[in-house]
Amino acid sequence: MESGDEEEDNIEEEEEKVKSSKGRRAAKVARLVIAPLVKKKNWSWSAYLEEERTIAAPLKLFKEHQSFPQSRNGFKVGMKLEGLDPCHPALFCVLTVAEVQGYRIRLHFDGYPECYDFWVNADSWDVKPPGWCEKTSLKLLLPKGCRDGEFNWNTYVKNCRGQLAPKHLFKSLNTSVTPSGFRAGMKLEAVDRKNPSLICVATIAAAVDNRLLIHFDNWDDSYDYWCDASSPYIHPLGFCEEAELTLTTPADYKPPKVFTWEKYLEETGAQAAPARAFKQRPPHGFHVGMKLEAVDKRNAMLIRVSTISDVEDHRIKIHFDGWSEEYDYWLDADSPDLHPVGWCQKIGHPLQHPNDSPVLPGQGCPTPGCSGVGHIRGPRYGTHYTAVSCPYSDLNLNKDGLVPDRLNGESLKEIFFIKVKSQPRLPKTARSNTPSHIYVTMWKY
């Protein structure tokens, strides 16, 4: 390991020592740090909009799942359910509700460390009641130690003294399904969401309700994503040719082997997704300067006062008010992490205001603007005191995907994690051997 990493590790260890010696005090600090942010009395959206001479993004621009919910969040801590792994969208997993905050829930993968916990809204399509996978013939990834064929939800919750999340809490079960013309196994041309400059040969791996699971032929399933017929990221066969764009073909199609859809459909015995089934939604109506409330991806427990700083047809760039522009990032306009002004107040979630009371020098994190809430290692720790652990420090600013892969790393006691930023897309076989992956540091659980 390089000396820089050693230093990083030492600082981390130092911090852990401080943390463990503080014990309950650390938890108390966490509450104290959050408290002034939440309870600041004088801040209001109406006064702020007036002061900034700007407008709130109109409610009509938001999708139903971004707007004010019609019912309350009935999930309780300890309830167990099935849900999509955001890092492995092809997999439904056994999850437990770890925290409830307003209309949001923090979900924990049974049998895995807390650093993989993630937040969803209570009406998310990505969460399903126990037994849903069996009913829909989708694979459910079992908790570590459970064997295929031996898993039974009732026995499982009894053994871990948990509780099955009742069906009526899952709003997505009531969505009306319209026949779309898409079926599992059909081929199409799709944008690789992790490398958006690539349009690739893809297959509908699953079609459930109005949702399609897009899988790229010959690539591993970490690139998969769910979308619907209105997605701007999926296209019928021949789209690239017509638009004079390059279609990225499966890895075994290298010159002199020529790719044609006709031949490929014959070889794979597959059907093309019918062109009439693609119903691309119109561009969103958001404008630069409009205000809204957005989940901060670097610290997903927090929702911040935000401004739209740039727009594309189907995406908007989010700026967190009071923060440097270097924290801005792009999101799909229909992201469930975007909400209209007043959403937090309505659902009972703290809203992080701009220029909130700063932490006194020497008491918090050294990163300007950061109050020490959250941790680069995920929700396992509520607070941090150093730049090394700060999700907003220069060190960590672009460390998306910092946490080691949950499933690849599971058998290792000490897990190396891989810097994947700007990594070119590699086929499944090449990924594990490639020397271009940079091993940055080591994690210990």
Least separation in angstroms between residue 390's CB and Zn ion is: 3
Q: Does 365 bind Zn ion (CB under 5 A)?
A: yes
Is the Cβ of residue 211 or residue 298 nearer to Zn ion in the bound state? 298
Contact segment (CB under 5 A) with Zn ion among 318-326, 360-368, 398-406, 416-424 equals 360-368
Q: Does 121 bind Zn ion (CB under 5 A)?
A: no
Among 96, 203, 367, 383, binds Zn ion (CB under 5 A): 367
Binding map of Zn ion across residues 374-413, x = CB under 5 A, - = no contact: ----------------x-----------------------
- Residue 118 burial class via C-beta count within 10 angstroms: exposed 0-12, middle 13-18, buried 19 and up: buried
CA distance 148 to 90: 18
Least separation in angstroms between residue 7's CB and Zn ion is: 18
Residues comprising the chain, all counted: 445
Is the Cβ of residue 182 or residue 385 nearer to Zn ion in the bound state? 385
Least separation in angstroms between residue 80's CB and Zn ion is: 33
Q: Does 200 bind Zn ion (CB under 5 A)?
A: no
Is the Cβ of residue 273 or residue 301 nearer to Zn ion in the bound state? 301
Q: How many residues bind Zn ion (CB under 5 A)?
A: 4
Is the Cβ of residue 97 or residue 370 nearer to Zn ion in the bound state? 370
Among 140, 370, 402, 415, binds Zn ion (CB under 5 A): 370
Is the Cβ of residue 91 or residue 373 nearer to Zn ion in the bound state? 373
Is the Cβ of residue 203 or residue 367 nearer to Zn ion in the bound state? 367
- List residues near Zn ion by CB under 5 A: 365, 367, 370, 390
